Amino acid sequence: MRDFLRRLPKAELHLHIEGSLEPELMFALAERNGVSLPHASVEEVRAAYDFSDLQSFLDLYYRGMSVLRTAEDFHDLAMDYFRRASAEGVVHVEMHFDPQAHLVRGIELPVVIEGLSLARRRARRELGMSTALIMAFLRDRPAEEAMAVMESAAPHWEMLDAVGLDSAEQGNPPAKFVAVFERARQLGIPRVAHAGEEGPPAYIREALELLDVCRIDHGVRCLEDPELVARLRDEGVVLTVCPLSNVRLRVVERLADHPLPQLLEAGLRLTLNSDDPAYFGGGMLANFEACAEAFGWSEEVFIQLAGTAIEAAFIDETRRLDLH
């Protein structure tokens, strides 16, 4: 099964590139940039990744990215991840990035975009890997700030494959971001949003109705609302599920308790993703393998899940045919 899962061409639709920062690179960049870290060693950093919920993770995630300062840092971050993903049989990566998390530290958007763009070109050339860029808004910050980021991104609108919505979900409903998502819609930029990870099914409905998203990131709590499940199925909405993330952030206690089998049984379109691979114990292959172990799925199930990701990816039809 391991060899099959490695060879299976996989598209990753839910990845935060800042969450791919491995402790080794964190230390190297801290040294390069003269940034001090509260931990003495790589092992100590890894030991600190014991989360009780989404917020306890976000605290370390924002602290970890303090080492990212230059375009070269963002290039090294993304390229490091693309190489690892490629070795796991990942052929396409859609990466969220968080402009506001960098702006608050004085790192301007063009610096981030320049570094990520350089890495994307190299991934294409050196790894044959396609990539997409999703500019995410931090939902625990003001909607006006998100709108300002949207407007300041005007020179880069053309290279955005989508906008997204992430960070602390509870108390920050999709409704808060109606205006900025409407602006993206006007500009012809597709939309995705995290919903139903820690937040209630009502947030998934809002994301569909008010933000007009084409995919829901996570969405696992939809099962609490059977009418919503029927709607997701009838409309063919894709959920980007992140199994190891859900375990590490205690959305579920153990992977064996994860609702993936029920979601599949309900006829929903699902994909498997890594979310923040450096923080949650592994990348795409680890997520696929953990599901094989927990659910005993056949090869056909994985072929279906990987196929759904290729169907739902932000790629042109020529590339899609190549990947299928």
Provide the annotated active-site residues.
197
- The label of the residue with tokens 């998203």 reads 213
Site membership for ligand ES4, residue 54 (CB under 6 A): yes
Beta-carbon neighbour count of residue 319 at 10 Å?
A: 15
Nearer to Zn ion, 198 or 275 (CB): 275
CB of 287 to ligand ES4, least distance (A): 13
Which residues make up each annotated binding site for substrate?
A: 276
**Residue at shortest CB range from ligand ES4:** 166
Nearer to ligand ES4, 109 or 244 (CB): 244
Residue 145, SS3 per DSSP: helix
The distance of closest approach from Cβ of residue 292 to ligand ES4 in the complex, given in angstroms and rounded to an integer, is 22
Residue nearest to Zn ion (CB): 275
Q: Residues 291, 8: contact at Cβ < 8 Å?
A: no
- CB 22 within 8 Å of CB 278: yes
For the bound state, the minimum distance from the C-beta of residue 126 to ligand ES4, rounded and expressed in Å, comes to 27
Rule CB under 6 A: which of 132-161 touch ligand ES4?
Answer: none
Q: Can you tell me which of 22, 94, 206, 276 binds ligand ES4, judged by CB under 6 A?
A: 276
Residues within the annotated binding site for Zn(2+)?
A: 14, 16, 194, 275
Q: Do residues 215 and 312 make contact, with C-beta atoms less than 8 angstroms apart?
A: yes
DSSP letter for 118, please. Answer: H
Binding residues (CB under 5 A) for Zn ion: these are: 275
DSSP SS3 for 230 = helix
Binding mask 111-130 for ligand ES4 (x = CB under 6 A): --------------------
Residues 18 and 134 sit within 8 Å (Cβ to Cβ): no
Q: How far is the CB of 249 from ligand ES4 (least distance, A)?
A: 6
CA atoms within 13 A on the CB side of 229: 15
Between β-strands 269-272 and 10-16, what pairing exists: parallel, antiparallel or unpaired?
Answer: unpaired
Pick the binder of ligand ES4 from 19, 89, 196, 283 (CB under 6 A): 19
Q: Which is nearer to ligand ES4, 8 or 238 (CB)?
A: 238
19 binds, among Zn ion, ligand ES4, none (CB under 5 to 8 A by kind): ligand ES4
Token pair listed for 289: 């393998």
CB contact set of 35 (below 8 Å; sequence gap of 6+) = 29, 66, 67, 69
Tell me the backbone φ, ψ of residue 261, rounded to 5 degrees.
-60, -40
CB 85 within 8 A of CB 284: yes
Q: Running DSSP on this structure, what letter comes out for residue 237?
A: P
Q: Closer to ligand ES4 by CB, 130 or 240: give it.
A: 240
Determine phi and psi for 76, rounding to 5 degrees: -65, -40
The residue from 102, 191, 194, 269 that contacts ligand ES4 (CB under 6 A) is: 194
Contact between 12 and ligand ES4 per CB under 6 A: no
Q: Which of residues 244-263 bind ligand ES4 (CB under 6 A)?
A: 245
Least Å distance, CB 127 to ligand ES4, is 24
In angstroms, what is the minimal distance from the CB of 19 to ligand ES4? Answer: 5
Known binding-site residue numbers: 14, 16, 194, 275-276
How many beta carbons lie within 10 A of that of residue 70, not counting itself?
Answer: 16
CA-to-CA dists, residue 141 to 137, 172, 292, angstroms: 8, 9, 38
Candidates 117, 167, 274, 287; binder of ligand ES4 (CB under 6 A) is 167
The DSSP call for residue 18 is G
Nearer to ligand ES4, 57 or 297 (CB): 57
Which residues would be at the binding site for ligand ES4 (CB under 6 A)?
A: 16, 19, 54, 61, 166-167, 194, 197, 245, 275-276
